[in-house]
Amino acid sequence: MLKINPEFVNKVNGANSLEELFPLVQNAIELEHATIPPYLTALFSFKPNTESAIRTVIHSIVIEEMLHMTIASNILNALGGSPNISDPNFVPNYPTHLPMGIGGSLVVGIEKYSLDLVKNVFMEIEEPEFPLPLKNTDEIETETTYKTIGEFYEALQHKINAIAPDSLPGDPNKQVTSTFFKADQLFPILTKQDAIKAIGIIIEQGEGTNTSPIGTEGEIAHYYKFEELYKCQQLVADPSAPYGYSFTGPIIPYDASNVLPLFPNTKANMLPLGSEERRLLEAFNQTYSNLLYGLHLTFNGSPDNLNNTIGLMFDLRLACQKLAEMPFPGKYGYTIGPSYEFVPPSAPYI
């Protein structure tokens, strides 16, 4: 599972003021963002018009991670803090430990889709504190001396309930909503009960509940969605199975030959200066950085900017797919992967 340093949970539990929670919620925003580039890269690494079922699953998870990042930003604003998104330190230098992780734990890179990636990285990121022993799954070790991101969010719920006033002190005009997300999942966080409810959405969408792999809105939680992809079979209701679900549904088609051979953890400086390949990768990084800056503006007083910023995701997809089909100079058999490197934003974002 995504094992985080217990210090983060301990700091939440030990907080005596909302101000002490500001850097901890910022850490959560950084973590929610850090999962998106690896998921997007796996999504974009398929050849056009292939593996539509797998694409649909990963796309749904990416959208929910974007929702979680937005919710966490709304919470920080509601508490009276300010999200910091457009900053070189906000962007992970992949391959890396994720924010709030510990030395020697999971290392996450930018790689093409594979079953090993799903099992050893994506399921590790999303694994709940106690994965449900669903029928036809491997036995999973549940004991840990560390904490999980779910425990962090639960501690945050309890602390906000304990020390926050009923009406939260942040500027309500900074609260972000959007028709891109359902109104019962992304809503203004004005009271501590709003914050507690919103955190519950993050927990259930990512991990499910202690009694079911189903989170909010009847959706399968992220961990079990990825387990579907690893087993190449859908999780379906099964009254005879523990917890009422088993991996006995329709097969999810997967053909590894439909995955483009992206070079893992590509960096712009690996490509020749002045080359078309370098220019395109630098353009990708510019779009990515503009996206972060747009989000920074959105969460710091321009909430109506969210839909425009989300539009940059489509530009990223097109750029990534073009790179993924280009041979990597000097690396026979590989194509070029995205690098998600931060650069100063360009007009109209400066």
Q: How does pLDDT run along the chain (350 residues), one tens digit per residue?
A: 567 888 999 999 999 999 999 999 999 999 999 999 999 999 999 999 999 999 999 999 999 999 999 999 999 999 999 999 998 999 999 999 888 875 457 899 999 999 999 999 999 888 776 666 665 544 444 444 567 788 899 999 999 999 999 999 999 999 999 988 999 999 999 999 999 999 999 988 866 555 678 876 678 888 899 999 999 999 999 999 888 999 999 999 999 999 999 999 999 999 999 999 999 999 999 999 999 999 999 999 999 888 788 778 888 989 999 999 999 999 999 999 999 999 987 766 65
Angle, in degrees to the nearest 10, between helices 22-34 and 36-44: 10
Closest CA to 74 of 29, 115, 40, 109: 29
* pLDDT for position 311: 79
The CATH architecture annotation of domain 3-257 reads Up-down Bundle (1.20)
* pLDDT for position 247: 93
Scored b (16 or more CB within 10 A) or e, 47-59 reads: eeeebeebbebbe
Domain segments of the chain as ranges: 3-257
Biggest CA–CA distance in the chain, Å, is 62
CA 165 vs CA 136, 168, 192: distances in Å: 47, 6, 7
DSSP assigned state of 119? I
CA-CA distance, 293 to 287, in Å (whole number)?
10
CA dihedral 75, 77, 78, 81 (to 10 degrees): 110
* pLDDT for position 130: 60
Judge whether 247 and 134 are in contact, CB under 8 Å: yes
* pLDDT for position 34: 94
CA-CA distance, 19 to 139, in Å (whole number)?
42
Angle, in degrees to the nearest 10, between helices 306-324 and 276-299: 160
Encoding tokens for residue 148?
A: 């999980």
* pLDDT for position 24: 97
Which residue reads 């501690």 in tokens?
Answer: 155
CA 75 vs CA 142, 153, 298: distances in Å: 30, 12, 14
Q: Is 275 exposed, middle or buried (0-12, 13-18, 19+ CB in 10 A)?
A: exposed
pTM: 0.90
Encoding tokens for residue 241?
A: 């199975």
Judge whether 212 and 185 are in contact, CB under 8 Å: no
* pLDDT for position 211: 61
CA 248 vs CA 46, 234, 241: distances in Å: 25, 6, 10
* pLDDT for position 152: 92
* pLDDT for position 139: 41
